[in-house]
């Protein structure tokens, strides 16, 4: 049997990984909203250096031609992969995309923004590696914990590669959506292993099936709303390009039906969470973990709605974009953790009435 100390080390490292994953999502949102995705044109280094240059004079010779060529080769390899899986039309459009041949001008602020994003991603990767190593302290208690931890480590490497494709392919819309949904999957797995370790040996809870159903439904709708949100962002980028970065007040008006769907789904998320809040209050006492999670979720949801209103009526300020996606991810994480605690909970005495 593993010692309590080694198990406690796993739980702490796992919790740190969860926090770091939220920071990765925030950093990605900042990169996205500030247009810093090509701040570092190569990967994993930045302009061929471990520490990026601070001025044009520090750049390598012929850097534009060098990195455009590298970007084109990467896209051609990715196009072959798309051909293999049957996405021949998308592969053709990727090969014919002349915009990848236009080099990005050096911008120190964007370079360091993207570099900071990569640093946060690297630290989270190290945390997930340690989590996977420490997870084997639970191998005799629950084999699912080390399995999921190792699988998550594989996903984070795939996510890093996919992130480089997102930038290289001029942010092809469906790849951006997959990239975001994969980030949520990694977060969910990390929350799952933390929860499994915390409730090891605890009995199952007897919870109203309606409460469980509404919890799952609210979680699914939240994921759909986040997916629609990435599509809205893509549409906004297209509008911004058409207006050459000007007329920000017109971007939302020209976003089309996808923005309307995203807004309507936000109303559905709010309604479902109001219903869920009522069910949790009726089924659990005020000191229960379930009520604490639900109250936190509701607070984050209200803040997310506020940032959505700011985005809609104040011409999409970049800071609000990053905060909006972070809050959406926090709501998802809290809803998912609530769902797990409706089956087994770390707070038995504060459980259902």
Q: Give residue 229's pLDDT band: very low, low, confident or very high (50, 70, 90).
A: confident
**Cα distances (angstroms) measured from residue 214 to each of 7, 208, 277, 332, 339:** 33, 10, 10, 14, 10
Q: Which residue has the higher pLDDT, 210 or 84?
A: 210
What pLDDT shows up at residue 52? 86
Looking at residue 2, its pLDDT comes to 63
Sign of CA dihedral 12, 44, 95, 256: positive
**Considering the chain, what percentage of its residues have pLDDT values greater than 90?**
41
Question: Can you tell me the mean pLDDT for 227-256?
Answer: 73
Mean per-residue pLDDT for 27-52? 81
pLDDT score at 245: 64
Contact 344, 204 (CB under 8 A): yes
Above 80 in pLDDT, residue 347?
no
- Class of residue 129 by CB neighbours under 10 A (exposed 0-12, middle 13-18, buried 19+): middle
Q: Over 90: is that where the pLDDT of 271 sits?
A: yes
pLDDT of residue 346: 76
Structural domains of the chain, ranges and CATH numbers in brackets = 1-201 (no CATH), 203-353 (1.20.120)
Entry pTM = 0.87
Q: What is the pLDDT of residues 6-18, one digit of tens each?
A: 889 999 999 999 9
Residues 101-127, mean pLDDT to the nearest whole number: 87
Q: Is 81's pLDDT higher than 70?
A: yes
Phi, psi of 317 (to 5 degrees): -60, 135
Confidence class for position 1, pLDDT limits 50, 70, 90: very low
Is the pLDDT higher at 213 or at 53? Answer: 213
pLDDT at 70 over 90: no
- Mean of the pLDDT values across residues 248-271? 80
Pairwise pLDDT comparison (244 vs 164), residue with the higher score: 164
Tokens of 56: 């044009």
User: Of the candidates 243, 190, 177, which has an alpha carbon nearest to the alpha carbon of residue 23?
Assistant: 190
313: Cβ–Cβ under 8 A, 6 or more apart, which residues? none
Q: What percent of the chain has pLDDT above 70?
A: 92
The average confidence (pLDDT) of the chain is: 85
């Amino acid at each position: 049997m593993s010692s309590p100390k080694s198990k406690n080390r796993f739980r702490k490292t796992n919790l740190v990984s969860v926090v770091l994953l939220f920071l990765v999502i925030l950093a990605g949102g900042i990169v996205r909203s500030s247009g810093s995705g090509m701040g570092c044109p190569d990967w994993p280094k930045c302009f061929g250096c471990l520490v990026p240059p601070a001025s044009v004079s520090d750049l390598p010779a012929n850097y534009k031609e060098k990195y455009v060529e590298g970007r084109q080769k990467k896209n051609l390899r990715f196009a072959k992969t798309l051909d293999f899986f049957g996405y021949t039309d998308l592969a053709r459009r990727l090969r014919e995309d002349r915009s990848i041949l236009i080099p990005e001008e050096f911008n120190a602020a964007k370079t360091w923004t993207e570099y900071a994003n990569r640093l946060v991603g690297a630290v989270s990767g190290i945390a997930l590696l340690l989590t996977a190593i420490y997870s084997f302290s639970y191998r005799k208690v629950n084999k699912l914990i080390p399995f999921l931890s190792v699988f998550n480590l594989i996903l984070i490497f795939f996510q890093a590669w996919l992130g480089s494709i997102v930038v290289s392919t001029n942010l092809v819309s469906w790849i951006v959506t997959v990239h975001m949904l994969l980030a949520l999957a990694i977060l969910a797995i990390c929350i799952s292993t933390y929860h499994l370790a915390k409730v090891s040996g605890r009995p199952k809870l007897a919870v109203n099936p309606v409460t469980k159903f509404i919890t799952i439904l609210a979680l699914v709708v939240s994921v759909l709303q986040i997916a629609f949100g990435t599509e809205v962002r893509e549409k906004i980028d297209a509008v911004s390009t058409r207006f050459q970065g000007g007329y920000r007040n017109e971007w939302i008006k020209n976003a089309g039906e996808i923005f309307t769907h995203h807004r309507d789904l936000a109303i559905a998320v709010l309604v479902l969470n109001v219903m869920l809040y009522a069910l949790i209050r009726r089924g659990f006492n005020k000191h229960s973990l379930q009520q604490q999670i639900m109250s936190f979720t509701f607070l984050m949801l209200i803040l997310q709605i506020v940032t959505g209103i700011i985005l809609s009526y104040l011409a999409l300020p970049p800071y609000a974009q990053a905060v909006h996606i972070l809050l959406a991810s926090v709501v998802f994480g809290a809803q998912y953790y609530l769902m797990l605690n409706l089956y087994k909970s770390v707070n038995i005495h504060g459980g259902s009435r």
